[in-house]
């Protein structure tokens, strides 16, 4: 290194004229500044014009690709300017070889950076496949595929850069193989979470956007990664659950319900005549069969029990909707109609009470 610096200083000393010094030092700086200026112009005007043209096409795939490579392209122009400026200098063959390797490695890194930003394009690509071939992809599978492609991209980029610098990739792989056992023992929890995520994908107990309930959390699934699943609770808290925990836990998927159950006992007073009790049960049953929000497949309305303070009518039926808000609306409407039927038949709804009978009247003595 010292000898090369001395050669460069000697070269400067040998340049007796000012134009020669300008040609040696100032021109490379001017080239680098020119590339920086062009990168700013490209980002502000040329790239914007390209995006306007892409926005007029039928697909948004081309626009996503240009946006993914926007910043890598700007950095690429700066690196190109630096490369041309340095190559302008009178360097020996060894330095030029190193600079060429650095330049090619930088290009590989920039391409990897752009491919890393193309996560949304995978979703668009699979949507096009679904529309064309009528194939349905699981919402959980798509993020996994995207993350897997990112990992593969990093591995390929790393391999190419290592080979570019003349390292033996086979020896490196052998070293990874020797340390694989130690790594597996140290990362057994992470590996179990990865396998848990694979089990969730294959078993498909839920999908992104589903409302699920486990022994520890209840909410809407937002994302699933190789390590964990993110669930947004109804209090807007984000809970991260390890995949191995979900894979070994019982999961209730409320979003996949075909219908929602309503069941309760309607208690009426013991003074209710038998004929009115029959009329009330028949009218409630008929009302449920004719209600647009109630599923007609399973409806039970029966006089069921002699309770301590009431005659109990058992009701068991299902709503057509599974949405929580619509379910509560249907349930409210049914309750109001039942109250109307109770009032129309002059029947009293029972409440907890107790009657006391005294055999011997208590005499109150007056003073």
Q: Are residues 242 and 287 in the same domain?
A: no
Does position 274 have pLDDT exceeding 50, yes or no? yes
Task: Confirm if 196 and 246 have CB atoms less than 8 A apart.
Answer: yes
> Would you say residue 357 lies in a domain?
no
The answer to whether 208 and 140 have CB atoms below 8 angstroms apart is yes
Look up the CATH number of the domain holding residue 288.
3.30.70.100
Among the listed residues 112, 100, 21, 23, the one whose alpha carbon sits nearest the alpha carbon of residue 71? 112
CA separation, residue 206 to residues 136, 171, 224, 245, 340 (Å): 15, 43, 11, 14, 41
Task: Look at residue 176 and give its three-state secondary structure.
Answer: helix
For 52-110, the pLDDT digits (tens) are 776 676 666 667 777 777 788 888 888 888 888 877 777 666 777 888 888 888 888 88
**Residue 82 and residue 155 in one domain:** yes
Which one is predicted more confidently, 1 or 103? 103
359 within domain boundaries: no
DSSP line for 252-313 = EEGGG-SSEEEEEEEEE-TTS-HHHHHHHHHHHHHHHHH-TTEEEEEEEEEEEEE-SS-EEE
Sign of CA dihedral 178, 180, 181, 183: positive
Tell me: do 249 and 270 sit in the same domain: no
Residues in the chain: 367
Same domain, 133 and 201: no
Task: Please give the Cα distance from 190 to 195 (Å, whole number).
Answer: 9
- Does 78 share its domain with 220? no
Q: At residue 359, what are phi and psi to the nearest 5 degrees? A: -70, -45
Based on the fold, state whether residues 275 and 320 are members of the same structural domain.
yes
Beta bridge mates, 230: 223, 240
Same domain, residue pair 49 and 119: yes
The predicted-structure confidence for 213-227, as pLDDT tens digits, reads as follows 998 899 999 888 778
Domain hosting residue 330, numbered range: 257-344
pTM (predicted TM-score) = 0.48
- The count of structural domains within the chain is 3
Is residue 219 a contact partner of residue 239, using CB atoms and an 8 Å limit? Answer: yes
Reduced DSSP (H G I as helix, E B as strand, rest coil) percent helix, strand, coil of the chain, to 5: 60, 15, 25
Task: Let me know whether 217 and 307 are in one domain.
Answer: no
Q: Is the dihedral of CA 266, 272, 276, 278 positive or negative?
A: positive
- Residue 238, pLDDT > 50, answer yes
Strand order in the sheet with 238-242: 238-242, 228-232, 218-224, 211-213, 252-253
Residues 135 and 228 in one domain: no
In the structure, what pLDDT confidence band is assigned to residue 295 with cuts at 50, 70 and 90? very high
Q: What is the pLDDT of residues 120-179, one digit of tens each?
A: 555 555 555 555 545 455 556 666 677 777 778 888 888 888 877 777 666 556 555 545
> What CATH code is carried by the domain that includes residue 240?
2.30.30.60
């Amino acid at each position: 290194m010292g000898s090369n610096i001395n050669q460069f200083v000697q070269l400067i000393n040998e340049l007796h004229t000012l134009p020669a010094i300008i040609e040696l030092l100032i021109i490379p700086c001017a080239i680098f500044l020119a590339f920086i200026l062009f990168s700013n112009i490209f980002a502000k005007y040329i790239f914007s014009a390209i995006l306007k043209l892409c926005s007029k096409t039928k697909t948004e795939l081309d626009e996503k690709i240009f946006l993914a490579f926007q910043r890598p392209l700007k950095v690429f122009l700066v690196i190109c300017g630096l490369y041309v400026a340095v190559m302008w200098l009178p360097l020996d063959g060894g330095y030029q070889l190193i600079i060429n390797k650095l330049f090619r490695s930088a290009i590989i890194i920039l391409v990897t950076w752009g491919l890393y930003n193309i996560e949304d394009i995978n979703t668009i690509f699979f949507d096009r496949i679904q529309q064309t071939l009528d194939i349905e992809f699981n919402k959980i599978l798509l993020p996994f595929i995207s993350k897997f492609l990112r990992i593969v991209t990093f591995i390929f980029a790393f391999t190419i850069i290592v080979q570019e610098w003349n390292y033996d990739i086979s020896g490196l792989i052998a070293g990874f193989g020797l340390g694989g056992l130690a790594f597996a023992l140290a990362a057994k929890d992470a590996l179990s979470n990865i396998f848990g995520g694979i089990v969730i994908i294959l078993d498909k107990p839920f999908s992104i956007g589903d409302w699920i309930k486990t022994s520890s959390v209840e909410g809407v699934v937002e994302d699933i990664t190789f390590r964990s699943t993110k669930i947004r609770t109804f209090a807007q808290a984000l809970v991260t659950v390890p995949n191995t925990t979900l894979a070994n836990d019982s999961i209730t998927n409320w979003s996949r319900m075909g219908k929602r159950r309503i069941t309760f006992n309607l208690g009426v007073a013991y003074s209710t005549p038998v004929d009115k009790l029959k009329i009330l049960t028949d009218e409630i049953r008929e009302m449920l069969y004719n209600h647009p929000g109630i599923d007609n497949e399973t409806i039970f309305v029966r006089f069921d029990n002699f309770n301590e303070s009431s005659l109990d009518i058992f009701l068991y039926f299902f709503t057509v909707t599974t949405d929580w808000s619509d379910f509560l609306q249907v349930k409210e409407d049914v309750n109001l109609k039942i109250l109307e039927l109770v009032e129309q038949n002059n029947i009293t709804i029972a409440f907890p009470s107790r009657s006391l009978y005294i055999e011997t009247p208590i005499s109150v003595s007056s003073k």
